[in-house]
Structure 1
Amino acid sequence: MKPLNNAEALSAIKEAIIQIIPDADFTLVRPDDKFRDVLELDSLDFLSLVELLSERTGARIDEEDYPELTTLSAASRFLVDRTAARS
């Protein structure tokens, strides 16, 4: 897969979250908010999110990477960097 830009990464994150929580309201989430708290993702939801993001982007996401996936801005930055690194 090709490297993602920030908009593509953010879109992939939001699409994955909507697949897990169909009524997720992103108007409540600012870029630096901890989206797990705002959208009330539990730990199983978060693991599903990690799996979906990995499948959709081709990025390897290990457990030690989870702290990078706490806000929309950090998560999109992580995906941009991770997909660029493998190309």
Structure 2
Amino acid sequence: MNEQEARMAAQTAIGKVAPDVDMADVDEDSRLRQDLELDSLDFLRLVETIDTDTGINIPERDYPAVATIKGLIAYLAAHG
């Protein structure tokens, strides 16, 4: 998966979990839980959505690496 595909996958997953978030107004340095206000359950749903949509499993030990949108995109690009 290249970076553009990873960006689209991340945006799609965030849109499914948090439909009220306008991705056009969000910076890639935004933190998923703090800035996008995803609670623990939303974050887990995001991880599950990514797994379902892309087949990329994000284990709990890697959650700190995907704490930001930029980190999530980089993770998907590296593991996809």
TM-score (norm 1): 0.82
Task: Find the counterpart in structure 1 of residue 41 from structure 2.
Answer: 44
Provide the secondary structure at the position in 2 that maps to 1:38.
coil
TM-score (norm 2): 0.89
Task: Find the counterpart in structure 2 of residue 29 from structure 1.
Answer: 26
The reply on whether 1:56 has 2:76 as its aligned counterpart is no
Per-residue CA distance 1:30-73 (angstroms, 9 max, x = gap):
11121321211000000000001111111121000111111111
TM-superposed deviation, 1:18: 1.0
Between Structure 1 and Structure 2, how many residues are aligned? 80
Structure 1 gap segments, 5+ residues each:
none
Instruction: Give structure 1 regions of 4+ aligned residues with deviation exceeding 3 angstroms.
Output: none
Give me the whole-angstrom Cα distance separating, in 2, the residues matched to 1:39 and 1:61.
19
TM-superposed deviation, 1:10: 1.1
Give me the whole-angstrom Cα distance separating, in 2, the residues matched to 1:27 and 1:55.
24
Task: Find the counterpart in structure 2 of residue 8 from structure 1.
Answer: 5
Choose 1 or 2 for highest CA Rg: 1
Share of identical aligned residues, percent? Answer: 41
Task: Find the counterpart in structure 2 of residue 19 from structure 1.
Answer: 16
